[in-house]
Amino acid sequence: MSVLTPPDVVLEARFARELPELGVPWQAVDAPDPRLLLLNEGLAEELGLDPRWLSSPEGVRLLIGRLVPEGASPVAQAYAGHQFGGYSPRLGDGRALLLGELTDREGRLRDLHLKGSGRTPFARGGDGLAAVGPMLREYVVSEAMHALGIPTTRSLAVVATGRPVVRERMLPGAVLSRVASSHLRVGTFQYARATGDLELLRRLADHARDRHGPPDGPSEQPYLALLRSVVASQAELVARWMLVGFVHGVMNTDNTTISGETIDYGPCAFLEAFDPRTVYSSIDDQGRYAYGNQPVIARWNLARLAEALLPLLDDDESRAVELATECLEAFPETYAGAWLRGMRSKLGLDGSATDATVSTLADDLLQVLEANRVDHTSFYRSLGVAARGDTEPVRSLVLDRPALDRWLARWRTLAPDGELMDRVNPVYIPRNHLVEEALAAGTKGDLEPVTRLLGAVTDPYRERPGLERYAEPAPTDVAAAYLTFCGT
């Protein structure tokens, strides 16, 4: 393996060095015929990486983990996790590697991570590989989320490996390079706690505090402050998902970050017809991770984090439980506050309407949307048109016009601001049928549809002529049958 380092790639090995018990030093498998499919030039520049160099054969070798810059020490990270409620003591990166951390142009430390880079000691029965389609999906959806202002891991590149992977059929393989403010998960804490090594747990918590704050306050116990801030950032994150109609699909504790970023885009999808019971994942037959359950599940996952942290909160266990419970009890209020603030903007209302008014108005609207199976994204965008005086576009989306008209009349007395609405209600989201279409073409080597879709969803608020089909819901029969398969 080469140790040639281009002058501007400096990768640190902080996680590997500070938490050796939580990572296994490992190498990416070689790719027979690596080809760069997508490169995120803006993100590369943000990271101080030259996109032209990344596109060169040497750069592509970095993107598949075969060129390891000096100072880096790639590891497969260990973590545990509750998957669909059942505990697995040892999951870990079965097909992923943390290459190391780099400091971006703004001085922030960012993880550079690969997915699909070969089997690791955590692979269990898996082949360690990833197919082009799911890696393109993660790229498209994560970049769309970022453009929507939702905290998320980012996607730097997708490289086709030239190695076929065996799924229901043979598919071309790929490696995704991903960037995150860290890859610490609730499951990382569960794993550390389960070792029984409290000093390790404390080192992990210190590492997390170092990377994600909050800054040490004068009075608060530091680990309690950490828990409190993770509870707040997850509550705010899930509120953002709900406001945009995002269904993560596999909210296991190993897919719940300490940073508050969305991670691990597997069977995720966006709502079209508004319905809290919506489930897209083919493996979620109980609907545990249905759209409307996401806040409850996030809180449940945070309770698992709190349990893992208990020994650091207080020497007296019952006191520790009391402190943790009090932190968790902040979740509903933080969530509701973030959601209501978001709804206030979506409805174009300024500060003069009271929270109680906005809350009742929003709840009543959701009932209309659900009863009429209204397309979530186009509804809010058309409502912006209604704020400017033309109610026909929004009325055309709802069958029960009298119910909508009654609601519109109440809303209009609050003088909604259509300009404000257009800044928060996207025109373009990664609609499921368009994502599928783009992935199918990408799998066959045609990247044009993915590129066009990315063009629409990475600039989601600016309506542009020629992109009409990216703003429209799927034909009803297609939407009703839509299922996603876990991102393998």
Active site residues: 254
Query: Could you tell me if residue 392 is left (phi over 0), alpha (psi between -120 and 50 degrees) or otherwise beta?
Result: alpha
* CB of 111 or CB of 264, closer to Mg ion: 264
* CB of 153 or CB of 378, closer to ligand AMP: 153
The minimum distance between CB 254 and Mg ion, in angstroms, equals 5
* CB of 143 or CB of 264, closer to Mg ion: 264
Give dist(CA 82, CA 429) in Å, integer: 30
The minimum distance between CB 272 and Mg ion, in angstroms, equals 26
- Near ligand AMP by CB under 6 A, which window of 119-127, 191-199, 274-282, 348-356? 119-127
Site for Mg ion in 257-296 (CB under 5 A): 264
* Residue 226 buriedness (CB in 10 A; 0-12 / 13-18 / 19+): buried
Binder of residue 88, out of Mg ion, ligand AMP, none (CB less than 5 to 8 A by kind): none
Does residue 74 interact with ligand AMP by CB under 6 A? no
Binder of residue 487, out of ligand AMP, Mg ion, none (CB less than 5 to 8 A by kind): ligand AMP
| CA distance to 177, 261, 282, 322, 398, per residue, from 180 (Å) | 10, 8, 27, 32, 40
Q: Which of 14, 73, 24 lies closest to 204, judged by CA?
A: 14
The minimum distance between CB 325 and Mg ion, in angstroms, equals 28
Does residue 184 interact with ligand AMP by CB under 6 A? no
* Six token digits for residue 236: 């705010």
The minimum distance between CB 187 and Mg ion, in angstroms, equals 8
Count of CB atoms within 10 A of residue 55's CB?
16
Give dist(CA 236, CA 246) in Å, integer: 14
Give dist(CA 456, CA 428) in Å, integer: 6
Does residue 255 interact with ligand AMP by CB under 6 A? yes
* Residue 302 buriedness (CB in 10 A; 0-12 / 13-18 / 19+): buried
Binding-site member from 151, 348, 384, 487 for ligand AMP (CB under 6 A): 487
Binding-site member from 20, 94, 214, 337 for ligand AMP (CB under 6 A): 94
- Near ligand AMP by CB under 6 A, which window of 89-97, 350-358, 430-438, 465-473? 89-97
Q: How many residues bind ligand AMP (CB under 6 A)?
A: 19
Site for Mg ion in 222-261 (CB under 5 A): 255
Does residue 137 interact with ligand AMP by CB under 6 A? no
Chain-centroid distance of CA 6 in Å reads: 31
Binder of residue 375, out of Mg ion, ligand AMP, none (CB less than 5 to 8 A by kind): none
- Report the interhelical angle of 432-443 vs 448-457 (nearest 10°): 150
Interaction pattern, residues 214-253, with ligand AMP; x per rule: CB under 6 A: ------------------------------------x---
Length of the chain: 488
- Near ligand AMP by CB under 6 A, which window of 56-64, 93-101, 175-183, 192-200? 93-101
Does residue 283 interact with ligand AMP by CB under 6 A? no
Q: What are the two backbone dihedrals, phi and then psi, of residue 218, each rounded to the nearest 5 degrees?
A: -70, -35
The minimum distance between CB 261 and ligand AMP, in angstroms, equals 14
Q: Which residues bind ligand AMP (CB under 6 A)?
A: 91-96, 122-123, 126-129, 250, 255, 264, 266, 486-488
Q: Which residues bind Mg ion (CB under 5 A)?
A: 255, 264
